[in-house]
Amino acid sequence: MLDIRELREHSTEMQARLASRDPSIDLAPIFELDDARRKLIGKVEELKAEKNRGSEEVAARKKAKQPADDLLERLSDISSRASKLDEELRAVERRIEDLVSRLPNVPHPSVPTGSKDDKVILRSVGTRREAGFSVRHHLDIAEEKGLLDFKRAATIAGAKFPMYTGKGALLELALIQFMVAHHARRGYTPVLPPFVANAQSFFVSSQFPKFADEVYAIEKDGLYLNPTAESLLVNLHRGETLAADELPKKYVAYTPCFRREAGGYGEQERGLIRIHQFNKVELFKFTTPESSYDEQEKLIADAESVLQALNLHYRVALLTTEDMAQQATKTVDLEVFLPGQDRYYEVSSCSNCEAFQARRGNIRYRPTPKDKPVFVHTLNGSGLATSRLVASILENNQQSDGTIVVPEALRPLVGFDTL
């Protein structure tokens, strides 16, 4: 969440930068409400001062054994007026908080302005494989080899829910185990968090209130299914004040992820491309403001190292202002190549959120023991999502005889070299 004081003090700049994310954003209604809030605070303070003076006069009259009924009646009226103004003030403050909580983060100056199609390709790693034969779609391969069963999954849960079977299940589990261990060796603390969270946790992560309709709700218990482990990990230090020498704090977590919105049913979203449930290994960091962009580059490198270990061709893209998640100030995507569709698909979004989430969760640190606490910066990135990795392995590692070569890094975990 943004700081309303900063919005007001730099209103012209903030309006322009936020409008680059969404041209419909208008800060004027927030400032009008903030003006009304300030006036209400002034009126409340005046009434409280008047009440204090009246109370002193009542005390003086009683000490002098003089009647004070008229004053007591006036004080009762002042209390009633102050109470009504307090209620009005709280309503205005709630409205301000709601409007501010729906604003996206301010984009970093290095982020290009534009739509999804304007992203900047920073680099390409590896080369596209020239198979010498027609590469098949991963779903066709998986169904033929008994690796996926979407039909029975639909019987259990409905459309767009996958079910891995046989060696497909072993491959999926191997990817999860490999990535968690891989990042743990790179200094991340492994975490297996709850797969559900309460509304406050989702507010801190910025999932709520704006995207409440996109998550699966367990209404009876006031809980929600995890859409991404970022929503859980950001709450690890909610309400805490950390020491500078604790930072950066680096976590890696495995969770299944659940999302209502799963796109359409076209060729580009067939199979594992866009589904309601998928597995993901998530990377998360709490850092100082001064180091957060250096830590973001390290986060990107850590996510890339998985694709390199799996020997998959990919590219790195800097997202534009209109294409970032609400909480992000700068996002770099890793996009793996799927030759069966001749397309790149995102497998990791590595974002710096600066103090946006920390302000919501009151997560601070002291630069020195004597310093006033300041908000940490939070960073997140998939390290990686498994579903599109499986799709990429099946499509990139096809052989002319129909077999699929298992990446060398996964062979000890699955117990076979080919599918």
Q: Hey, which residues are catalytic here?
A: 259, 274, 346, 349, 388
Written as six digits, the tokens of 210 are 């704006």
Is 212:198 a contact under the CB 8 Å cutoff? no
Q: Residue 180 in contact with residue 281, Cβ under 8 Å?
A: yes
Q: How far is CA 28 from CA 15, 108, 110, 209, 369, in A?
A: 9, 22, 26, 21, 40
d(CA 381, CA 390): 19
For residue 88, the tally of other CB atoms under 10 A from its CB is: 15
- H or E stretch covering 94: helix 69-101
- Whether 419 contacts 167, CB under 8 Å: yes
If 0-12 CB within 10 Å is exposed, 13-18 middle and 19+ buried, where does residue 323 land?
Answer: buried
Beta partners for residue 364, in sequence order: 241, 375
Q: Which amino acid is at 275?
A: I
